[in-house]
Amino acid sequence: MPSPYLPNTDADRSAMLREIGANSADELFYDVPAQFRNVQFKLPPPLSELELKRELEELAKRNASLDDYVCFLGAGYYRHFIPSVVAHLTSRSEFYTAYTPYQAEASQGTLQATYEYQSLVCQLTGMEVSNAGMYDGSTAAAEAALMAHRITGRDRVAVLATVNPRYQAVIATYVRDQDISLEKMEPNLDSLPSDCACLVVQQPNFFGYFEDLRAHARKAHDSGALLIVIVDPISLGMFKPPGDYGADIVVAEGQALGSPLSFGGPGLGIFTCRREYLRQMPGRIVGRTVDRNGRPGYVLTLATREQHIRRERATSNITTNEALVALAATVYLAAMGKKGLRQVAELCYHKAHYAARAISELKGYRLVFPQPFFKEFVVRCPVAPQQINQALFEEKIIGGLDISHLVDNGMLFCVTEVNTKGEIDRLVKFLGEL
């Protein structure tokens, strides 16, 4: 079947092969030893756009989309409202069909938007510098731990037990082959051992409640370690940013800022730090400069940290990142602005507290942690959370995350601004009837 993505005709190909001096396309592959060439590939037959669209739409319908289900699930990936401008602007194909902005003069759109991104993210986290982004929140946390190891020269990474277990697992994957030991610490630790490179904490933590960041910062700094904070960027619309507590590196999952869930990817690894550590940062950074006529413009800068220049001495091997998701975050933050982001955070806060209170008043349910929380909270259920979730699913409700392996009959609920009072009341009603 002719392909809409192959513009050359048979006549074009013949003319080109004549110019090349070859009799067939296959002749151009003669460097490949004959036994490896033109082997069989067992793949399904090609389908037209219309046929395949139908098939994929059918496949999509076999998933329970949050457009059709009420959702109280979070744990690092969140459903927040996305203004339509975000998708419209990120769908400008000058943005999404461009490569990494190596040729600055033809890439000012991406570069200036990234400069905006870096600025907005610093304003949000209270940190001094940001890179252009990492793969996701968990790999940003892992790269932060490696960066702390480079800065301090120490081989021990301390992670609080209240950090998202999936993040802990990714940090473990990343540090394993560098002879760095990973240690889990309880949040009430008195002090940090003197040979730790960093203390990794999450704010609000995996269980939804706020850590004593001031105390953690003191403990980390007293022992000469860096404080790495994993943060929920939406919470920063309302709550004090980690920069105010003296954090050295702040990372976050940026999906919540204007991107759909997409089954967990693509996400965005927000990565910010104190200016003194700039040259140890992984990933791309955009800087402002001038052109030869003195007009402002933007370029990729400080590239001597990166793999294509520094090779085995680079700060990371990362190259492709999540630029388009960072663009979505930029448009989202600009659209929300000062008032909007605060309002989103406040809506989350009040609705989550309304839900937590109503659930905890049900017979057999109680809140597990007494500390202040933002939009997530852990409930101890009277029966196995899995059983509850199955029943809720019948009612087109996706319940909280089953964390019974961490907290006896524990379920981690998440409530955001997209959950209406009606939805919360319905959840509470069904929980009460179980």
Q: Which of residues 74-133 bind other proteins (CB under 8 A)?
A: 75-77, 79, 81, 83, 85, 87-89, 91-110, 112-113, 115-116, 118-120, 122-124, 129-130, 132-133
- Candidate residues 227, 341, 379, 381; the one interacting with other proteins per rule CB under 8 A: 341
| Cα 50 to Cα 61: distance, rounded to the nearest angstrom | 17
Query: Tokens at residue 57, please?
Result: 């739409």
Q: Tell the smallest beta-carbon distance from residue 82 to other proteins (Å).
A: 10
Nearer to other proteins, 99 or 224 (CB): 99
Query: Tokens at residue 35, please?
Result: 């036994």
Phi, psi of 351 (to 5 degrees): -65, -40
Report the site for other proteins in 350-389 (rule: CB under 8 A). 350-351, 353-354, 357, 372, 389
Query: Tokens at residue 21, please?
Result: 């001096």
- Candidate residues 153, 188, 311, 363; the one interacting with other proteins per rule CB under 8 A: 311
Binding track over 139-158 against other proteins, x by CB under 8 A: x------x------------
Query: Tokens at residue 242, please?
Result: 């980690």
Q: Tell the smallest beta-carbon distance from residue 91 to other proteins (Å).
A: 7
Nearer to other proteins, 191 or 310 (CB): 310
Q: Letter for the amino acid at 24? A: S
* Contacting range for other proteins; rule: CB under 8 A; set: 152-160, 193-201, 217-225, 420-428: 420-428
Q: Tell the smallest beta-carbon distance from residue 379 to other proteins (Å).
A: 16
- Residue 379 near residue 400 (C-beta atoms within 8 A): yes
Please name the helix (run of DSSP H) or strand (run of DSSP E) that holds residue 262, with its range, or none: none
Phi, psi of 77 (to 5 degrees): -120, 125
Report the site for other proteins in 255-294 (rule: CB under 8 A). 260-267, 278, 284-293
Pairing of strands 196-203, 181-185: unpaired
23 CB neighbour count, 10 Å cutoff: 10
Nearer to other proteins, 224 or 372 (CB): 372
Nearer to other proteins, 165 or 223 (CB): 165
430 binds other proteins (CB under 8 A): no
| Cα 91 to Cα 85: distance, rounded to the nearest angstrom | 10
- Candidate residues 10, 186, 190, 312; the one interacting with other proteins per rule CB under 8 A: 312
Contacts of 36 (CB under 8 A, 6+ apart): none
Query: Tokens at residue 250, please?
Result: 């702040």
Nearer to other proteins, 32 or 194 (CB): 32
- DSSP at 373: B
Q: Tell the smallest beta-carbon distance from residue 347 to other proteins (Å).
A: 6
- Residue 434 near residue 383 (C-beta atoms within 8 A): yes
**Helix (H, G, I), strand (E, B), or coil: what is residue 203?**
strand
Report the site for other proteins in 213-252 (rule: CB under 8 A). 236-241, 244
Report the site for other proteins in 3-22 (rule: CB under 8 A). 3-8, 12-13, 15-17, 19-22
192 binds other proteins (CB under 8 A): no
390 binds other proteins (CB under 8 A): yes
- Residue 170 near residue 139 (C-beta atoms within 8 A): yes
